[in-house]
Amino acid sequence: MTAMFREAIERMTPYTPGEQPRLGKRVIKLNTNENPYPPSPMVRRAVVKSAGSSLRLYPPPRADEFVGAAARLYGISREMIIAGNGSDELLAMLFRAALGPGDKVAYALPTYSLYDTLAAIQEARVAAIPLGPAFAPPLSELANQHARLTIVCNPNSPCGTIAEPDGLDSLAQAIAPNLLVIDEAYVDFAETNALHLAKRHGNVAVLRTLSKSFSLAGMRLGFCFAQPPVIEGLLKVKDSYNLSRLAVTAGAAALADAAWMRRNVELVKRTRAATEKRLRQMGFEVPPSQANFVLARIAGHPMDAIANALRRRGILVRHFPRSVFADALRISIGRPAEMAALFKALEPLVKPIVAAREPANRPGSSRALKQ
């Protein structure tokens, strides 16, 4: 039988999105790094206002109102911004524009696994570089690859660690004129960002999303900052009307109320600090996170059973069974009450594992003998 699609598509493994239970189902959802707090009330007002007869008409192809709001908020000219249907779409455009069959793309391992999917679609060669000590992004090893496209997810998922802007600056210089994409999906929860590098270097594209800090995952809004030649290249591969009218106005309203976003970010960061502390007390290794999630690991102990047990109790967390972090859970930061429910469910599951690993409790140790 002849295959219906290109061989690369027939062969590839599809991306697996995190589970999205139907609305109204009572679960504690800590699996896809959404914001536990609602978007600005200005978003609702803007959407209601634009949900009228203007929907007869196609939306503005370059999402002008949204791009204008981003230009104002970030102090960057409109010519340096392109809007996407989520930053996933911008990633797809970047892969499509930069990579043909056999071209090399480099990124850390592990990182956001959509990069693998997009590389497979383009039939690109992947240089997946293991994270450094303490899960640090492997910047100098990435520089040595001289790939046609290099991506740094910063902060990185699933570990929440971050590369400092100076390191990214050097990476951009080392690989020029090849493109460096800095995926800053989680950067509003971090202490630094690399937006200025898009102004400084002609080969840097910085991606942002409204899905996390602005609480708008359901609206599908992202943007890319880069110098005009990069933006012009991306416009060539963009769908004509990639953002709906509702998304354009919602995005503009959200960006106009950045103070709302910052308040929510502060709440999430406070809960993140408490979560890291509590998980470490339970015996997990938790790298300090600069994102709205934490990675909780017990080295060498697969987490399938714990993830499934939590699921049965109505708590969804992310688990990556076939990765180097099969021994970890990625836990999105929810509201304090949601995290309290997680701790209550998790503690009895993890206690016997931690106890069994403590040298003092192993058979033959002096403490174990005394008991």
Ligand X SMILES: Cc1ncc(COP(=O)(O)O)c(C=O)c1O
Instruction: Give the separation between CA 346 and CA 336, rounded to whole angstroms.
Output: 15
The DSSP 8-state label assigned to residue 204 in this structure reads E
Choosing from 65, 116, 183, 327, the residue that interacts with ligand X (CB under 6 A) is 183
Q: Residue 211 interacts with ligand X (CB under 6 A)?
A: yes
Choosing from 28, 29, 31, 33, the residue that interacts with ligand X (CB under 6 A) is 33
Least distance between ligand X and beta carbon 30 (Å): 13
Q: Which tokens hold the place of 318?
A: 């992310």
CB-nearest residue to ligand X:
86
| 205-to-19, 60, 80, 231, 337 alpha-carbon distances in Å | 29, 23, 10, 9, 38
Choosing from 40, 145, 150, 157, the residue that interacts with ligand X (CB under 6 A) is 157
The answer to whether 98 and 179 are in contact (CB under 8 A) is yes
**Considering beta carbons, is residue 157 or 264 the nearer one to ligand X?**
157
**Considering beta carbons, is residue 243 or 298 the nearer one to ligand X?**
243
The answer to whether 130 and 149 are in contact (CB under 8 A) is no
Least distance between ligand X and beta carbon 22 (Å): 19
DSSP 299-331: TT---HHHHHHHHHTTEEEEE-TTSTTTTEEEE
Least distance between ligand X and beta carbon 86 (Å): 3
Least distance between ligand X and beta carbon 77 (Å): 22
**Considering beta carbons, is residue 209 or 275 the nearer one to ligand X?**
209
Spell out the residues 6+ positions from residue 308 whose beta carbon is closer than 8 angstroms to its own: none
Q: Residue 222 interacts with ligand X (CB under 6 A)?
A: yes
Q: Residue 205 interacts with ligand X (CB under 6 A)?
A: no
The answer to whether 146 and 168 are in contact (CB under 8 A) is no
Binding mask 55-94 for ligand X (x = CB under 6 A): -------------------------------xxx------
What is the size of the binding site for ligand X (CB under 6 A)? 13
**Considering beta carbons, is residue 209 or 350 the nearer one to ligand X?**
209
Longest dimension (CA), the chain: 79
Strand bridging mode 179-183 / 204-209: parallel
Q: Residue 242 interacts with ligand X (CB under 6 A)?
A: no
Instruction: Give the separation between CA 337 and CA 61, rounded to whole angstroms.
Output: 42
Choosing from 153, 197, 250, 317, the residue that interacts with ligand X (CB under 6 A) is 153
**Considering beta carbons, is residue 298 or 317 the nearer one to ligand X?**
317
Least distance between ligand X and beta carbon 297 (Å): 18
Q: Which tokens hold the place of 101?
A: 């069959």
Instruction: Give the separation between CA 100 and CA 123, rounded to whole angstroms.
Output: 7
Give the footprint of ligand X on this chain (CB under 6 A). 33, 86-88, 112, 153, 157, 183, 185, 209, 211, 217, 222
